[in-house]
Chains A and B, each alone.
Chain A
Amino acid sequence: MSDGSTFLEVLGSAGSNKYELIKVLQAAQNEFSYIPASAAEEISEKMNIPVSEIYGVITFYRQFTLIRPGKHIIKVCEGTACHVADSKRLSGYIADLLSVSPGETTADGLFTLSSVACLGCCSLAPAMMIDGFVYGRLDEVQIKEIIENIRKGEK
């Protein structure tokens, strides 16, 4: 959810204000979909924060990743409502469908399978989010359709 500013703009306006570190990292994550090592180094230099401290922050928060993810990120909800609606089964199904384990990216770089603690759509459990859109009341048939549709759109 950036307000349109690029990573370099946000970094520029942060100056050496350490308080802005998370905002700068969010800008980088938004722009690159992960935090490249070069970005961390650039932040360190411009903001005068040790790289180790920056990695400390990156690894603390779920939002930041150090690995380039696939083009579409599938976040299967693991919240309570989804858990009791057997979301584990669905993530297992997606893992099989895409032949990846949770956290991994498909060989074609199209999908990354990850999870989220709750999407706030608990009344539509089980739910998942792909590219910011929440799909609810899921079952295997629908998941297959959704994923196939995205695949088709890529061809």
Chain B
Amino acid sequence: MRILVGASSCGISAGALNVVSALERALAKKGKSSLKVETTGCIGMCFAEPLVEIRENGSSRFYAGVSPEDAELIAAEDICLKEPIERLLIDPDEFLKRQTRIVLRNCGRVVPSDIDDCIKYGDSYKALEKALSEKFFGEGIISEIRKSGLRGRGGGGFPTHLKWSAARNAAGNKKYIVCNADEGDPGAFMDRSVLESDPHSVIEGIIIAGAAIGAHNGIIYLRAEYPLAVERMKQAVSQAEKRGFLGENIMKSGFSFNIAIKEGAGAFVCGEETALIASLEGRRGMPEIRPPYPAEKGVFGCPTCINNVETLANVPWIILNGGEKFASIGTPASKGAKVFAVAGKAAKSGLVEIEMGTKLSDVVFGICGGVKDGGKFKAVQLGGPSGGCLSSEFLDVPLDYESVGKTGAIMGSGGMVVLDESSCMVDIAKYFLSFTQAESCGKCSFCRIGSKKMLELLNDIMEGKVGKESLDELQNLAESVKRASLCGLGQSAPNPVLTSLKYFKEEYLAHIEFKRHSDVCRKIGKFSIVSAKCRKCGLCMKKCPVNAICKTAEGAYVIDADICVKCGQCAESCAFKAISRS
């Protein structure tokens, strides 16, 4: 019997480590301290954290939302008496069965801190052995990747084999493979989870990529806000070095390869290839005009191939199972599966890997159980700050690069935020634009000034300060910024605005006309206390987070409109419905 607790960042912050120590304590008390409590990565069911798995005789049972007290019960009843506690059990199949798990194959299954476990249960480095054989080494690997049809998962969807061929054919003795682990989309966590839960697959993918293009050096550019991922990757690299999977003459193949880990310093634009290179060279992360492409002139002036974490994690699977097998999954142009990080108002948020071409509704409603707390589905945001919001009309859209691209949103790297009726689409557009505007590096004027102007205009619209004609102005400006910006950041920054203008125009109009449009925006209108209904209990004053409510000398309560942030908490809390919104 094995006892496993999911301990990725999400598990740990939900209390997984307390669960581990509670289990250990309880087992020691029962004289069973010989039973080890192991920590695994994230299986993707983040909604059910902390998660305890009891693995026995080839099958598993999962306990969801385990508290330290529950852990004691599990130790006493399930582990010691073999009496599973039905009320805490969860059926993972509901969530996992409809998925196609390639990248996530080992996540939550292996113990990421233990290379032996990864080798034994996760087939780690098996593909590497194959890739380093004479039959595959170099061209053979690229040809397998070509057959697979793998496309970059970092957002662009560029065919991986073309990138690898270009880097292989580039002149130069010293070449680099860079793993882009800068995951910058705020609201996405696919790469973090893979790095934390299955670091050896990423390392293996990097080494195989190196063998394919003739590079001997790999760099992992890792986002600084992911301390656990940094720690696990460092540990995994040093374990792989000790086992001879990294270093000189790997598996007696004559091929040598090393990996260095570089921590990012916090700048979204550094996810862009040329900015990433500048950052690796110790400079400000300002994008540059391509060509030259990194494949010709990249890090330290050497030919460089930059791939996303998820792209690289697909590679060992493809080598092991064959390109054709991979190509048999997905749609004609988008092969394989894609990981999505589902968050926001989804009933079951977490990581989902589905076959390309799966309908959006199958993810949102099928796997993730629709909207939480009985809310009503309004939209889903795909692709983060470079993407867009799709309304319920698009629930049938197949999730592949082409179909999603046609809607004006993008597949992006896999961020999927479910929104319910409480979200205002103009606010969401503004949210993303504020993000990209703040992250603009300032090099080109369209992005620097254009995004700022757009934001100002959006603010005016939200406050009802401008007329209908401002929407055309916004549209024009957005299109210009999209067309004329230097790098992907500016070129895609207008997308959230453009898609919401296209699909949710009535919400913009509602702001302009300053009328209450169903519940679209809390920022519309004004809260006031209806003195006839008010019983002067003072609860609203206590509830108000910004102290906008005060008591007058006459004992009446009033809301100061200048301070009020229109959060609506006072109205919700009032038992006498004495607070109205107009």
Binding site for B on A (CB under 8 A): 1, 3, 18-23, 25-26, 56-57, 60-64, 78-81, 83-86, 88-89, 92-93, 96, 116-125, 127, 129, 132-137, 140
Is B546's CB under 8 angstroms from A92's CB? yes
Alpha-carbon distance between A20 and B262 when the two chains are bound, in angstroms: 10
B178 contacts the other chain (Cβ, under 8 Å)? no
Chain A residues with CB below 8 A from B342, complex form: 123
Identify the stretch in B147-155, B220-228, B251-259, B477-485 within 8 Å (CB) of chain A at 4 or more residues.
Answer: B220-228
A124 touches B186 (CB 8 A): no
Knowing that A80-B185, A84-B419, A140-B545 touch, tell me 16 more A-B residue pairs with CB under 8 angstroms: A1-B231, A22-B279, A26-B263, A60-B441, A61-B267, A62-B265, A63-B265, A80-B431, A89-B545, A89-B569, A117-B225, A118-B185, A120-B226, A123-B189, A123-B350, A136-B14
Q: Are A122 and B13 in contact (CB under 8 A)?
A: no
Contact A117 B186 (CB under 8 A): yes
Q: What residues make up the interface of B, taking CB atoms closer than 8 Å to A?
A: 9-10, 12-14, 46-47, 49, 183-189, 192-193, 224-227, 230-231, 234, 262-268, 279-285, 300, 341-345, 349-350, 381, 384, 415, 417, 419, 422-423, 428, 431-432, 435, 441, 545-547, 565, 567, 569
> For residue B279, which residues in chain A have a CB less than 8 angstroms away from its CB?
22
What CA separation (Å) do A21 and B284 show in the bound complex?
10
CA distance A16 to B435 in the complex (A): 35
Is B46 touching A89 in the complex (CB atoms < 8 A)? no
B546 touches A96 (CB 8 A): yes
B-chain residues with CB within 8 Å of residue A56 when the two chains form the complex: 284
A127 and B349 alpha carbons, distance in the complex (Å): 14
CB distance from A122 to the nearest CB of B (A): 4
Contact at B284–A80, with CB atoms within 8 Å? no
User: Among A60, A79, A129, which residue has its beta carbon within 8 angstroms of that of B186?
Assistant: A79
Bound: A1/B222 CA distance, A: 12
Query: B225 touching A123 by the CB < 8 A rule?
Result: no
A124 close to B10 (CB less than 8 A): yes
Q: Are A63 and B224 in contact (CB under 8 A)?
A: yes
Question: Which chain B residues border A119 with CB–CB below 8 Å?
Answer: 9, 225
Residue of B nearest to A1 (CB): B230
Closest to A140 in B: B545
How far does the alpha carbon of A47 sit from the alpha carbon of B13 in the complex, in Å? 40
With A78-B186, A93-B545 already in contact, the answer to whether A62 and B14 are too (CB < 8 A) is no
B494 smallest CB distance to A (angstroms) = 17
Q: A80 touching B343 by the CB < 8 A rule? A: yes
Return chain A residues, CB-CB under 8 Å to B224.
1, 63
CB distance A20 to B187 under 8 Å? Answer: no
